[in-house]
Amino acid sequence: MTEAIHPTAVVDPRARLGARVRIGAYTVVGPDAVLADDVELGHHVVVEGRVELGERVRIGHGCILGGAPQDLKFQDGTPSGVRIGERTVLREHVTVHRATAPEGWTQIGRDGLIMGLAHVAHDCRLGDGVIVINYAGITGHCEIGDRATIGGLTGMVPFTRVGTAAYVGGMAKVNADVPPYMIVDGQPATVRGVNVVGLRRAGIAPAERRALQDAYRLLYRSGLAPKRGLDRVREDVAACPPVLALIDFIVAATRHGICGPPAGGSAAGDEPAWPAEAEESER
């Protein structure tokens, strides 16, 4: 254990370190850190506050974990933290801030990859297998589903949801919820199609992939308004688990609404985002 910690590292004796933990040069580990077995911290890493790292997590050079939230309402001394699941990799200079509420946690799931210089803000929840590409900014309280991919230089407004296995293109401006299994791109981000490649990689059966494509056509290419499109999906598309998850996600739209079709697309109104109150306001 001692040989795996560089002599220039500063590790508080109260930190809890598992077996075979490796800590690089000039890295600082605070008293409330919990590092499970086989965790590796690169050089010049800062781990402050309540940070829990699962087994085989790898943290790249220059990362800062557990820093105070960039939130003017945050009160110093609030007991909150960061949790990162097993086998997740953070590359160089990633920042992950702790939550704002007492006993709250900013969470990143298992088997994820957060690429260099990306930022995960306070109170975010990232699922398992999430990929965040370089320079993306995930702002406060965002939720990203399992196996979703966030493109490089993407910006997201607070409280945005991204569904399971969705793909957000690079440099997208995400100011509405991204439906599961869909590809979005643009400024503002709009739905461009079904993430077929991601579905194949996730092992989604061909029949379910076809059902999602049928649902996409009804929601985004049929000219139907959102409520009628959902009704048609319920009536005409096989009720397999991915389609049901897509319906539930849209029905539970937040204040931002759901990403709509591109301007000039086929859905009624050609709005860049469906309003969150679409269910109630439809004629």
Catalytic residue check, 122: yes
Catalytic residue check, 270: no
The catalytically annotated residue of 123, 146, 177, 185 is 123
The catalytically annotated residue of 85, 109, 137, 140 is 140
Are 124 and 140 in contact, with CB atoms under 8 Å apart? yes
In sequence order, the 6+-apart residues with CB closer than 8 A to the CB of 231 are none
Task: Output the DSSP codes for the chain.
Answer: -GGGB-TT-EE-TTSEE-TT-EE-TT-EE-TT-EE-TT-EE-TT-EE-SEEEE-TT-EE-TT-EEEEPPS-TTPPTT---EEEE-TT-EE-TT-EEEPPSSTT-EEEE-TT-EE-TT-EE-TT-EE-TT-EE-TT-EE-TT-EE-TT-EE-TT-EE-TT-EE-TT-EE-TT-EE-SBBPTTEEEETTTTEEEEE-HHHHHHTT--HHHHHHHHHHHIIIIIS---HHHHHHHHHHHS---HHHHHHHHHHHT--TT-EE-PPTT-SSGGG-SEE-TTHHHH--
The catalytically annotated residue of 122, 229, 256, 257 is 122
Phi, psi of 40 (to 5 degrees): -125, 125
Catalytic residue check, 93: no
In sequence order, the 6+-apart residues with CB closer than 8 A to the CB of 210 are none
List residues with catalytic annotation: 122-123, 140
